[in-house]
Structure 1
Amino acid sequence: MTELEEGSRPQLPLRKRAARVVEQVGTPRLIVSAIVVLIGIFLARYSWQVPLISDAERALYDIRLMLTTPRAEQDPRVLLVTYTDDTLINTQVRSPLDRKILADALRSLDRMGAKAIAIDVIVDQPTPNDEYLVDAFRSMKTPTYLAFTTAATNKRFIDTRQEEFLRAFQAKIRTTSVKPTSIEIETDPDGVVRSWPHQPKELPPLLARAVTGAQDGFDDYFRGVRFRLPAFEDRPVFAKLPIDLFATPETAALMAEQVRGRYVLIGGDILDLDQFETPMKRITGQRTIGLEIHAHMLTQLLDKVQFGRIPRAGMWVVALLVVAAGALTALSDARAWKVGLMLVGQAAFFVALPFYLQWQGTDTRHLPAFGWSIGWLLAYAAIGAAVRAVGSQQRRFAQSALGKYLPRDIASEIMRDPERLALHGEKREIFVVFTDLEGFTKLSHAIPAETVAFLLNRYLDMLSEVVLRYGGTIDKFVGDAVVAFWGAPISRADDGERAARAAWAMYEAGEAFRKDVPEGVPAIGRTRVGLHWGEAIVGNFGGEGRIQYTALGDSMNTAARLESANKPLNSTVLASKAAVERSGLDWWRPLGRITLRGRSTPVEIFEPVPEATAEERAYLQEALKRFDAGDRTVVEELETLASTNVRDAALANLVYRLHHMESGGSYDLG
């Protein structure tokens, strides 16, 4: 269709076009389309619960969160005091963490005017310094909170015996100033921290809630954590000092201004210990210590920042709109540029809306942004396929096929009865011929491009003429390779003979071509041919405006592998036993049994030798039967025969293979 025709054709209203599709598409396709659309709606709503797709959703959420997160100066309200790897080296204690240094640090911090102290260290087993630490806790005037957990809520890190010790220790230190706090952190299935944890009732308040005594609605807040990125790479969001500085009075005195009026969080900053992945890793490339995650939640609480929730009804509405947009786009009969604008606009919506919502303070975790795209695509594909199936495309397709890939008699039949060239796939038994011109790719790099085009077109014309002369259907050209088949769209009783004669004639055409090349062109290799018979799905495949009548299936692959096998077997035309038995010709000689590359089932192969006598072909057939029966003397007989026919490379190769095979076996081409 020309551009003028496209612009001038009448365009049906969308409602009428949809009604026509429903009316003409047929019940089976309509049911399939409806199922696909329903799947699209499901994915557009519940993609966060679908494996693999949920991974994409989480990644998109992390990107949205980080790109809409403002860069922050260092927060003056929070100080992180940490055990570091240097602390472990200095104290020569790794697990449990040294409690004397903690006790000394607590006494120093208590004198410095901290607003509150929270300790993300679980005291769950005895050490020699326990009483020293108990005395420090009991002397605290500053509100202080020590980590508490249970075996039921934290099975990975604590067992029942450790829980009993922890409860007893908490009871010893409990005063009006010292209380327990929960330090549980919740991760998504991919191990990334994205939201506030759901705290079991048996646990005390979460660290951020405990130190602030929050009563501002955060008790039931379980949505996204407001992570912040530093404004400058060398100045993190939270100041962090090693606990060693506070363990001795001399250095602790220098840190007073760093502590006064701040929330002090104490915990570990140790390699491979208490490290978590957060959305920030997609930008920073680093994991985050648990103590810092608590600090982010604490400042979020102090700033009273709660991400909004998207109503469930709203999620359903958008999912339905997205799928409807895909279906309506497929139904649209507008010009290409208008459809292009529709696609760009919808794509912008899918991308921009989630970012806008996150930027406006809505928690887009569980927003199915990627699911929208999949739902749209499924609806577009399902409805588009139904639209393309409607209408009488057969005759126009048959007309465009005339003289291109169908022989004249078949084309004439199709013109009389277009239904013979159905616009769908059907299972057929066909003869497939696959050819390749040896060394042409290498040759194309050695001669000018104009010469390559001239030679290739002449070569393909010669082989195409052979296919059409013998009544075959040209499937496709793949570079210098020609793929053709017999038995579809119309089958004939002598398709096997036609295909076999065409295979040999294509080889001969290739020989004629290579002997008649322009001066200065390097030698051209032989044309190798593979012939096979088998089942295939034959029909019209492709998108609207670019339909190709082709065959798909194992028979096509087998023919291609037979063609490729010519090279290692020093042959030119190879046919499978299935094709030979149906060819009606007696000019075949057997070349043994091989296992084609990528296959496990052996194939008996044959080569056409029209010039050989019936006795010569029968002798070779009988010899291979004797070999299969265990008669190894056959190898010597054939070796003698090959030595008297030095130009018969295929026979010599057969002898070589028999030397390397067991009787009744198969030679594996690997």
Structure 2
Amino acid sequence: MTEESGGKAKRGGLLARGWRSVREAGKLQLLATVLMLVLALFIARFSWTLPGSDEPTPLTNDAERALYDTRAYLAADMVEQDDRIILVVYDDQALINLEQRSPLPRDALAEALGNLDKMGAKAIGIDILFDQPQKDDELLIETLRNMQTPTAVGYANVETNASDIVYEQQVFLEEFMAALEGTNSRPASIRLDNSFGATRIWPTIEPDLPPLLGRAMLEDAGGPVEAFEGYEGSIVYRRALRAGLDEMDDGAGQDQGNIEEPLFQSISIELFLDLDPAVAEFVAQQIEGKYVLIGGDIVDYDRVETSITPWTGFEPAGLSVHGEIIAQMLDGKVLPQVPEWALWMMAVLVVATAALTALLEWPAPKLVPLLLLLAVMFVGIPFWLHFNDVDTYGLPAVGWLVGWIIAFTAVTAAARSAGAAQRSFAQGALGKYIPRDIAQQIIDQPELLSLGGEKREIYVLFSDLEGFTKMSHAIPPEMVAKLLNRYLEMLSKVVLDHGGVIDKYVGDAVVAFWGAPIARPDDAERATKAGYAMWQAGEDFRREVAEMDPNLPKIGKTRVGLHFGEAVVGNFGGDTRIQYTALGDSMNTAARLEAANKPLDSNVSASREFIEKSNPDWWVPMGRIVLRGRARPVDIYHPRPDLPEEDREALAEIAQLSDSKHDVAVQSLDALIARHPDDKALRNYATRIRNLNDGGAYVLG
């Protein structure tokens, strides 16, 4: 079998196992999975708006439009000022000079139109609604009727522009337009699509509305409009080549910030009033052969957020947007849209790949790179299409990613639900032989069963039951087994309740450790409490046995040794038998500390290395000893929560004085024993402190 065919077979086996797990899920789980897959397909297809409506899709709508705006900004052409289109504007200064702000003065417009009509423009478009009567209406109508240049006059109705016009205004507007019938002036829609807070696409074509302002102007001028018949796609915005390069000062020391160079030349309407013949000739050179748009360019009025506004911060006047639409038609930028069938095919593909990936049950190291790759692909495809002049408005990107995640999560949840019982059984079975956390790791990562170990710093606990071997010869084997099982059960519970790992049982001895395979910040505290609780559990066992049968031999004390140090932790053994254990000198030191409890008249002993990691205030120093078979002395500590705080502090002071002021330390210890005359461990300490070797330690015999 080749490597390639072997890989296919392995993947096929993983898919089969995953599919089997899904099929074994309960009916409710399967139903929930199907519903989630339908939801994933829905989002992968309809992440912009809900089907059959203009309502935004919750959660994904804003993200899709933000990503589209990013594409529009990055793909926008950097262009010089467009000299094909001229804007004649009422700006703020002009309105101040004309002493009228709203409605825009029509006598000035009539005079400007009369002058413009002589300058050879291709077409004129007026982005102003004449929806209210003014004293200069007759003058304006007469001017419009006499226009030789094709002129498109702004029109709107209540149905499509309810926020801009009311019925009474529309009635007047209709009468105004009727007066222009049979002339070169005709109505044109000035409606823009401001859905979802920005003008990103062309307005829809409504049967009861005249052509859009830009369409009407190009139709009248014989421009290229055939390709845009029925077009309702994206507006192709451009960016000024010199945008943001200049900084201006208002003359009063106030920085005006970066100035966005306009894409179109803008001329104040005042220039066309009281026009000097010499100036008229010069202006005519600017106007001849151009498309002229007339309207307002007023601060904080009729400003439009576009698809590139989030990046530039610039909101142009609505008049400029009509200019961009005209420029798009002149450039022939008809953006093809992704067909419906392709959108559905991609949505199905997204959900299918998510389901297949979930069935493979890949671990995180494999899954995370795949998810990152898919995220790049799902986001990258719309960017690639956009940069290649394909309309990506309405094309899912966030929807594909979210749909994939939902589908993957649904199938994964179904597979895990079906395998939960199997995993629970396996964990329970393994947990009878090895620690539960190790069992869980082996279930999740079977490769952990491979042989080997690693050096770790661990907290080691070693316990032993005094006299159990001798007692076992005096009672029936069945009773020995019963007592031993009960004893080990009680001590094992202490270890597991405190988060420890049971290394092994050696007869009645229990070996445990903390710090591997998972190290926790509070391992030292856990091990410290477990050491004392282990002795208490032994005392409970003694009382339990005495109550069980008074004729049984007296059970001895449980002694505990604790040490912190390095060990090699891992799986050791062979192909037929593996044991998870720890090896090293720290294990031997803990065992010798446990054994030292007998000659020390103590129950629990810990090394300084162990205590320094947890710093419990209820453990006290009890001198320095040399353990059997060792040369290096060990500072030992005993748990003494029963001692008053001042006595524990006295023992800490005695330990400090032992080397420098030995006689004072002995006297202080004698005074302490006088307060606790029945304390065997303290009396033992007093004997030892009087018999130290040259290194200041007591050598155990």
TM tier, shorter chain?
A: 0.5 to 0.7
2:230 maps to which of 220, 228, 250: 220
Show the 5 A alignment for 1:420-431.
none
CA distance in 2, matches of 1:162, 1:344: 56
The answer to whether structure 1 residue 41 and structure 2 residue 41 are counterparts is: yes
1:166-205 per-position Cα deviation (integer Å, ceiling 9, x unaligned): 22222334453211111111222x2211111123222221
CA distance in 2, matches of 1:152, 1:403: 70
**Residue of structure 2 equivalent to 1:385:** 413
> Does structure 1 conserve the Cα–Cα contact (< 8 Å) formed by 2:44 and 2:402?
yes
Q: Secondary structure at the match of 1:513?
A: coil
1:353-372 per-position Cα deviation (integer Å, ceiling 9, x unaligned): 11122222222111121111
1:246-298 per-position Cα deviation (integer Å, ceiling 9, x unaligned): 22313544422221110000011112221221111122112221111111111
The answer to whether structure 1 residue 202 and structure 2 residue 211 are counterparts is: no
1:382-410 per-position Cα deviation (integer Å, ceiling 9, x unaligned): 2222333454322554446837799x989
CA distance in 1, matches of 2:151, 2:115: 13
CA distance in 1, matches of 2:61, 2:21: 34
**Residue of structure 2 equivalent to 1:374:** 402
**Residue of structure 2 equivalent to 1:534:** none
CA distance in 1, matches of 2:436, 2:44: 47
2:61 maps to which of 28, 31, 54: 54
1:305 maps to which of 319, 333, 342: 333
Letter of the aligned partner of 1:78 in structure 2?
Answer: I
> Does structure 2 conserve the Cα–Cα contact (< 8 Å) formed by 1:245 and 1:252?
no
Shift of 1:41: 1.0
1:139 maps to which of 126, 140, 146: 146
**Residue of structure 1 equivalent to 2:136:** 129
Show the 5 A alignment for 1:145-156.
145-156=152-163
CA distance in 2, matches of 1:11, 1:141: 76
Letter of the aligned partner of 1:393 in structure 2?
Answer: R
> Does structure 2 conserve the Cα–Cα contact (< 8 Å) formed by 1:193 and 1:276?
yes
- 75-84 vs 377-386, which deviates more? 377-386
Change (3 A) 1:29 1:163: closer
Change (3 A) 1:409 1:36: farther
**Residue of structure 2 equivalent to 1:171:** 178
Q: Secondary structure at the match of 1:288?
A: coil
Letter of the aligned partner of 1:48 in structure 2?
Answer: W
**Residue of structure 1 equivalent to 2:556:** none
**Residue of structure 1 equivalent to 2:435:** 402
Letter of the aligned partner of 1:123 in structure 2?
Answer: F
Shift of 1:320: 0.9
**Residue of structure 2 equivalent to 1:513:** 616
> Does structure 1 conserve the Cα–Cα contact (< 8 Å) formed by 2:120 and 2:288?
yes
CA distance in 2, matches of 1:19, 1:229: 52
Change (3 A) 1:384 1:405: closer
Letter of the aligned partner of 2:617 in structure 1?
Answer: R
> Does structure 2 conserve the Cα–Cα contact (< 8 Å) formed by 1:11 and 1:333?
no
Shift of 1:309: 1.9
Show the 5 A alignment for 1:602-621.
none
Shift of 1:43: 1.0
**Residue of structure 2 equivalent to 1:247:** 273
**Residue of structure 1 equivalent to 2:165:** 158
1:460-491 per-position Cα deviation (integer Å, ceiling 9, x unaligned): 333456789789xxxxxxxxxxxxxxxxxxxx
> Does structure 2 conserve the Cα–Cα contact (< 8 Å) formed by 1:332 and 1:339?
no
Letter of the aligned partner of 1:195 in structure 2?
Answer: I
**Residue of structure 2 equivalent to 1:232:** 242
**TM-score after normalising by structure 2:** 0.57
Shift of 1:99: 1.1
Letter of the aligned partner of 1:368 in structure 2?
Answer: P
**Residue of structure 1 equivalent to 2:467:** none
Show the 5 A alignment for 1:461-540.
461-463=527-529, 513-516=616-619
The answer to whether structure 1 residue 283 and structure 2 residue 311 are counterparts is: yes
**Residue of structure 2 equivalent to 1:181:** 188
Shift of 1:457: 4.1
Shift of 1:74: 1.6
**Residue of structure 1 equivalent to 2:496:** none
Shift of 1:216: 0.5
2:79 maps to which of 72, 84, 87: 72
Shift of 1:344: 3.7
**Residue of structure 1 equivalent to 2:24:** 24
CA distance in 2, matches of 1:271, 1:198: 28
Change (3 A) 1:470 1:366: farther
The answer to whether structure 1 residue 117 and structure 2 residue 119 are counterparts is: no
Letter of the aligned partner of 1:45 in structure 2?
Answer: R
CA distance in 2, matches of 1:204, 1:226: 23
1:9-28 per-position Cα deviation (integer Å, ceiling 9, x unaligned): 97662442233223433333
Q: Secondary structure at the match of 1:202?
A: coil
Shift of 1:352: 1.3
The answer to whether structure 1 residue 93 and structure 2 residue 123 are counterparts is: no
Q: Secondary structure at the match of 1:47?
A: coil
Of structures 1 and 2, the larger Rg is shown by 2
Q: Secondary structure at the match of 1:76?
A: strand
Residues matched between the structures, number: 440
CA distance in 2, matches of 1:118, 1:330: 58
CA distance in 1, matches of 2:385, 2:124: 36
What 5-or-longer segments of structure 1 have no aligned partner? 1-6, 416-452, 472-510, 519-526, 528-670
Change (3 A) 1:244 1:412: farther
CA distance in 2, matches of 1:52, 1:23: 31
Q: Secondary structure at the match of 1:81?
A: strand
Q: Secondary structure at the match of 1:255?
A: helix
CA distance in 1, matches of 2:427, 2:533: 20
Shift of 1:455: 10
CA distance in 2, matches of 1:130, 1:119: 15
1:421-450 per-position Cα deviation (integer Å, ceiling 9, x unaligned): xxxxxxxxxxxxxxxxxxxxxxxxxxxxxx
CA distance in 2, matches of 1:299, 1:40: 40
The answer to whether structure 1 residue 192 and structure 2 residue 198 are counterparts is: yes
> Does structure 1 conserve the Cα–Cα contact (< 8 Å) formed by 2:40 and 2:402?
yes
Shift of 1:91: 1.2
CA distance in 2, matches of 1:515, 1:30: 56
2:293 maps to which of 234, 254, 265: 265
**TM-score after normalising by structure 1:** 0.59
Q: Percent identity?
A: 37
> Does structure 1 conserve the Cα–Cα contact (< 8 Å) formed by 2:336 and 2:391?
yes
Change (3 A) 1:343 1:517: farther
Shift of 1:411: 11
CA distance in 1, matches of 2:416, 2:201: 46
Shift of 1:348: 2.4
1:104-161 per-position Cα deviation (integer Å, ceiling 9, x unaligned): 2112211211111100011111222223323322332111111112233322222222
**Residue of structure 2 equivalent to 1:624:** none
Q: Secondary structure at the match of 2:200?
A: coil
What 5-or-longer segments of structure 2 have no aligned partner? 1-6, 50-56, 244-259, 440-484, 493-518, 539-613, 622-640, 642-701
Change (3 A) 1:458 1:40: same
Q: Secondary structure at the match of 2:391?
A: coil
1:322 maps to which of 350, 365, 384: 350
Shift of 1:69: 2.0
Q: Secondary structure at the match of 2:83?
A: coil
CA distance in 1, matches of 2:173, 2:436: 88
> Does structure 2 conserve the Cα–Cα contact (< 8 Å) formed by 1:105 and 1:248?
no
CA distance in 2, matches of 1:338, 1:105: 70
CA distance in 2, matches of 1:248, 1:216: 40
Letter of the aligned partner of 2:295 in structure 1?
Answer: G
**Residue of structure 1 equivalent to 2:475:** none
